[in-house]
Amino acid sequence: MSDRPDPGAVLDRLTAELGAASVRPGADASPDLFVDETLKAKPVAPAVVVTPSSTAEVAAVVRLAAELGVPVTARGAGTGLSGACIPEPDGILVSFERMAALLELDEANQVAVVQPGLTLAELDAATAAVGLVYPVFPGTLAASLGGNVATNAGGMRAVKYGVTRNQVLGLEAVLGTGEVVHTGGRFVKSTSGYDLTQLIVGSEGTLALVTEATLRLHPRLAHTASILTPFASVDEVAEVVPRIVASGVQPMILEYIDRATMTGLLRMNELTLGVPDDVMAATEAHLIVVLEGRDAGRLEVDVADVATQLAEAGAHDVYVLPSGQGADLLAARESAFWMVKAAGADDVIDMVVPRSRIPEYLRGAQLLARTHGSKVFGCGHAGDGNIHFSVYEPDTARRSRLLSAIFAMGHDMGGAVSGEHGLGRTKKGYYGRLVEPASLALQRRIKAAFDPAGILNPGCIFPDD
Ligand SMILES: Cc1cc2nc3c(=O)[nH]c(=O)nc-3n(C[C@H](O)[C@H](O)[C@H](O)COP(=O)(O)OP(=O)(O)OC[C@H]3O[C@@H](n4cnc5c(N)ncnc54)[C@H](O)[C@@H]3O)c2cc1C
């Protein structure tokens, strides 16, 4: 794609196709559109920004881009953490802000049909009104459903409900040729050809642009209870997590927070949880368990059961929080990213390892950080083996060496580079060094089948040659 047409010519062709109201030069748009929440990421202005209002318009944009050989990057809400929606300097940015409708809430089939620009907050409000829930809750409900699908977003409730790919039943999507495909449907099972839905989920805008998604909903359970448990060591936390998961109580949330992160979160959110200072000082890791149920009595039994498991596992104490305090603690946990950003963290990584290897992974990462003269702090989705480290190492080369070492260690434990944020532009190099060559080659062939001109979000997922 070296002989790209003049950006003015691309603008003119797109304007002729979509009309001036949906097309503007990148230079006229806000730089906020050109970056996501990735720490230290810089905005990149594309040649053109388009805001299509229909699938037909998206298809027209992609057809033209394929003809001209111009890169196309989709943008949802820009809350991503891997630079995946940052456009190419001479490319087209497709912003889905005008395709943001909830098309249908089908209560009989427990399904929502949405356009990609709809936010999680909007879907949550609509499903709450009918007693249902879309159970993917990443740390920000400002994220769009299109972005969720493209990143296979996870979040705190994945330990019970699974991640985005477990909720996506069908898609309408525009391939890199401009063709429109429909995958799946309002059913939970199908053995009818390759599962194209699942190929597109998590593909970070590199295979197709999602223009509609059919999503699975669940009953919204009325009662929740939050338990906070300080432990002297991460080994104790790691031991009790699989036991709770195996006990059948189906926790909705199982989050790990290290002492430094918890201290910062409590301070930043002006929260007191009644944990005495001497217990805090003797704590290496906190575990938050949230249970939900449709019946208050049944929930109480489950809370007592989990509390016993936690006490038997050696917890300093078990705090069953009043509901307001539980909600405040979860809100504080969700603010972890903003805290580490304000504290000047240089990167956030979200490697996933088998649950049983968490202590080894945590200790290994601390050791590697020390040997590199850097600092890492952690919290994350312990129930999924998905720990988020904030990395404090301003020297780019040293940080890259540290991250390479952490990823290689986690990979040797049977882990994967990203559990939920995606590879995007920031983690693709690390992935490229660890992935099996045959797997990477197959993925390149799949990419070529969906996107023969190679225009969809180039620069993401695949390592530079
Ligand atoms: C405070 C905070 C906490 C977070 N916590 C979590 C968490 O717990 N778990 C988690 O998984 N993530 C988390 N995230 C990351 C982020 O919220 C998710 O990755 C989210 O899914 C991104 O959605 P978005 O709409 O912002 O997508 P964007 O950032 O706009 O884009 C992300 C990717 O999706 C592609 N894309 C967007 N729309 C489409 C479309 N219609 N078709 C094809 N591709 C498209 C983009 O090209 C890009 O590759 C967090 C982010 C923040 C800021």
- DSSP assignment of 439-459: HHHHHHHHHHHH-TT--BSTT
Q: Which string of DSSP letters, residue by residue, matches 132-154?
A: EE-----S-TTSBHHHHHHHT--
Same domain? For 268 and 371 the reply is no
Residues 6+ apart with CB under 8 A from 341: 39
Q: Which of 219, 234, 251 is the last residue of a domain?
A: 219
What was the pLDDT predicted at 141?
Answer: 97
- Tens digit of each residue's pLDDT (9 = 90 or more) over 106-159: 999 999 999 999 999 999 999 999 999 999 999 999 999 999 999 999 999 999
Say if residues 441 and 200 touch (Cβ distance below 8 Å): no
Same domain? For 72 and 109 the reply is no
User: Residue 93's closest CA among 72, 107, 78?
Assistant: 72
Same domain? For 87 and 127 the reply is no
Same domain? For 72 and 111 the reply is no
- Counting from 1 in the atom list of ligand 1, the atom nearest the Cα of 210 is 42
Region 236-253: what's the mean pLDDT? Answer: 92
Region 334-361: what's the mean pLDDT? Answer: 94
Q: Which of 310, 336, 362 is the last residue of a domain?
A: 336
Mean pLDDT: which of 75-79, 282-286, 333-337, 360-364 is highest?
A: 75-79
Say if residues 351 and 418 touch (Cβ distance below 8 Å): yes
Find the CATH number of the domain harbouring 47: 3.30.43.10
Region 427-431: what's the mean pLDDT? Answer: 98
Pairing of strands 102-106, 111-114: antiparallel
Region 77-103: what's the mean pLDDT? Answer: 97
How far apart CA 24 and CA 339 sit, in angstroms, is 35
**Count of domains for the chain:** 4
Find the CATH number of the domain harbouring 126: 3.30.465.10
Same domain? For 313 and 357 the reply is no
Residue 45 maps to a domain: yes
Lookup: tokens for 431:
């992935």
Question: Which helix (H) or strand (E) covers residue 226, if one does?
Answer: strand 223-231
- Site to probe by mutation for ligand 1, drawn from 49, 73, 81 as the one with most ligand atoms within 8 Å of Cβ, is 81
Same domain? For 82 and 186 the reply is no
Q: What residue numbers bound the domain in which 214 lies? A: 102-136+143-154+162-219
Region 372-376: what's the mean pLDDT? Answer: 97
Say if residues 225 and 320 touch (Cβ distance below 8 Å): yes
Q: Say yes or no to pLDDT of 356 above 90.
A: no
How far apart CA 161 and CA 179 sit, in angstroms, is 33
What was the pLDDT predicted at 275?
Answer: 87
User: Residue 89's closest CA among 431, 459, 384, 388?
Assistant: 459
State the angle between helix axes of 358-371 and 234-246 in degrees (0 to 180), rounded to the nearest 10.
150
Pairing of strands 92-95, 253-258: unpaired
Identity (one letter) of the amino acid at 183?
T
How far apart CA 62 and CA 56 sit, in angstroms, is 10
Residue 438 maps to a domain: no
- Tens digit of each residue's pLDDT (9 = 90 or more) over 201-217: 999 999 999 999 999 99
Ligand 1, atom 15: nearest CA belongs to which residue? 80
State the angle between helix axes of 7-18 and 55-68 in degrees (0 to 180), rounded to the nearest 10.
150
Same domain? For 37 and 49 the reply is yes
Same domain? For 82 and 36 the reply is yes
* Residue scoring higher pLDDT (325 or 167): 167
Same domain? For 195 and 236 the reply is no
- Tens digit of each residue's pLDDT (9 = 90 or more) over 287-330: 999 999 999 999 999 999 999 999 999 999 999 998 889 999 99
3-state SS of 349-390 is ECCECCHHHHHHHHHHHHHHHHHCCCEEEEEEEHHHCEEEEE
User: In angstroms, how far is the first alpha carbon of the chain from the final one?
Assistant: 15
Same domain? For 368 and 322 the reply is no
Region 380-403: what's the mean pLDDT? Answer: 95
Find the CATH number of the domain harbouring 351: 3.30.70.2740
DSSP conformational letter for 421:
S
What was the pLDDT predicted at 102?
Answer: 98
Residues 6+ apart with CB under 8 A from 159: 245, 251, 252, 253, 254, 381, 383, 384
Tell the residue number behind the tokens 């990979």, with chain if given. 411
Q: Which of 383, 406, 421 is the last residue of a domain?
A: 421
Say if residues 316 and 282 touch (Cβ distance below 8 Å): yes
Residue 459 maps to a domain: no
What was the pLDDT predicted at 430?
Answer: 98
Mean pLDDT value across the chain: 95
Residue 437 maps to a domain: no
Same domain? For 15 and 92 the reply is yes
Pairing of strands 132-133, 102-106: unpaired
CB-based pocket (< 6 A), ligand 1: 36-37, 73-81, 84-85, 96, 116, 138-140, 143-144, 146-148, 150-151, 153-155, 204-205, 209-210, 337, 420-421, 457
How many A from CA of 153 to the centre of ligand 1? Answer: 7
Residue 442 maps to a domain: no
- Tens digit of each residue's pLDDT (9 = 90 or more) over 59-82: 999 999 999 999 999 999 999 999
* Residue scoring higher pLDDT (2 or 119): 119
Same domain? For 57 and 43 the reply is yes
DSSP conformational letter for 385:
T
- Weakest-pLDDT range from 64-78, 327-341, 401-415: 327-341
DSSP conformational letter for 379:
E
Identity (one letter) of the amino acid at 258?
D
Residue 206 maps to a domain: yes
- Site to probe by mutation for ligand 1, drawn from 33, 50, 53, 75 as the one with most ligand atoms within 8 Å of Cβ, is 75
Residue 457 maps to a domain: no
Residue 427 maps to a domain: no
| pLDDT band at residue 1 under the 50/70/90 scheme | very low
Classified as helix, coil or strand, 165 is helix
Q: Say yes or no to pLDDT of 2 above 70.
A: no
